[in-house]
Structure 1
Amino acid sequence: MLLHFAFLVVLTLGGFAAWRWPRLILVHVGLAVWGVLNAVVKVPCPLTDIEDWARRRAGEEGLPQGFIDRYLTGVVYPEEHQGAVQLGVACLVAVSWVGYALLWRARRRSVAAGVR
């Protein structure tokens, strides 16, 4: 469960962290692509499969639905606002990418000018 939450935090805010640690953008882009696939195409999440496997080995039942549906939708935000939440996350990611691109461009210019 903790891995799921960490995944969602990096998916949502990882672009901002990449402002400080630029190589993190590669991980963040991969997670963002996965998030879009999961939201649009409903690709099953391997983290949910792993969590279900671990629960069963511990003698518990697996999740009846996905992690987000179980722990976030209807708990953190109302189910009818799921589209708005997804749009909000997409906007956060887009803002982080614009900021990353601007910082990358400024860093590239300073390196080209010999400034560190």
Structure 2
Amino acid sequence: MTYHLIGQAAMVVHFLFLAFMAVGGFLAWRRPRLIWAHLAVAAWGVLSVVTGVECPLTVVEDWGRRNAGEQGLPPSGFIDHYIEGVIYPEEHTGLARVAVAALVIISWAGFLRLRARAGSPPPVTRE
């Protein structure tokens, strides 16, 4: 039972991590300190896509499921198992990655614009 819960918790945290990767920059508009966490999450996302490094959450979920006597994740990993072919067709993986990257860039641009506005003096009005 405990191993099953570990596997389930890792899966939920993984989905939350991916959601934060996509929209965390927008959350930083209201909570500016979140930008640092979002930068780290986005950097991990780029690293994992570029190098193919396995996510520790995938390892934990697989370990929990196998120790619970369940079938573990396939060798292709979390994204291939839960997202590709389920949320979007596998042939659109590149498009999905570009869409997430666009969300991140737009959120960062908006964040920088809001920060610049907050740091600038109020406009001078002449009457």
TM > 0.5 fold call: yes
Q: Which has the larger radius of gyration?
A: 2
Helix, strand or coil at the partner of 2:22: helix
Write out per-residue CA displacement over residues 21-43 of structure 1, whole angstroms, 9 at most, x where no aligned residue: 00000110100000011111111
Instruction: Answer yes or no: is 1:32 the counterpart of 2:32.
Output: no
Q: Give TM-score, length-normalised by structure 1.
A: 0.91
What is the rounded CA distance, in whole Å, between the counterparts of 2:17 and 2:32 in structure 1? 18
* In structure 2, distance between residues paired with 1:93 and 1:110: 28
Corresponding residue SS for 2:120:
helix
Normalising by structure 2, report the TM-score. Answer: 0.83
Q: Structure 2, unaligned stretches of length 5 or more? A: 1-10, 123-127
Deviation at 1:53, TM superposition (A): 1.4
Q: Please, which of 18, 25, 49 is the counterpart of residue 59 of structure 2?
A: 49
What is the percent sequence identity of the aligned residues?
Answer: 53
**Which of 82, 89, 100 is equivalent to 2:93?**
82
List 4+ stretches of structure 1 deviating above 6 A.
Answer: none
What one-letter code is carried by the residue in structure 2 that aligns with 1:17? L
Cα distance per residue 1:46-66 (max 9 Å; x no partner): 000011111122121320121
Structure 2 SS opposite 1:43: coil
Distance change (3 Å), C-alpha of 1:19 and 1:110: farther
Please state how far the C-alpha of 1:107 moved relative to its aligned partner: 1.4
**Partner of 2:80 in structure 1?**
69
Q: CA RMSD in A?
A: 1.3
Shift of 1:81: 0.5
Kindly provide the amino acid, as one letter, of the partner of residue 51 in structure 1: E
Distance in 2, matches of 1:25 and 1:38, equals 20
Partners in 2 of 1:53 and 1:8 — Cα distance?
A: 20
- Taking a change above 3 Å as real, the CA distance of residues 19 and 57 of structure 1, as seen in their structure-2 partners, is same
Q: One-letter code of the match for 2:48?
A: N
- Structure 1 segments unaligned to the other structure (5+ residues): 112-116
2:111 corresponds to: 100
Aligned-pair CA distance for 1:110: 4.7
In structure 2, relative to structure 1, the CA distance for the partners of 1:97 and 1:53 (3 Å cut) is same
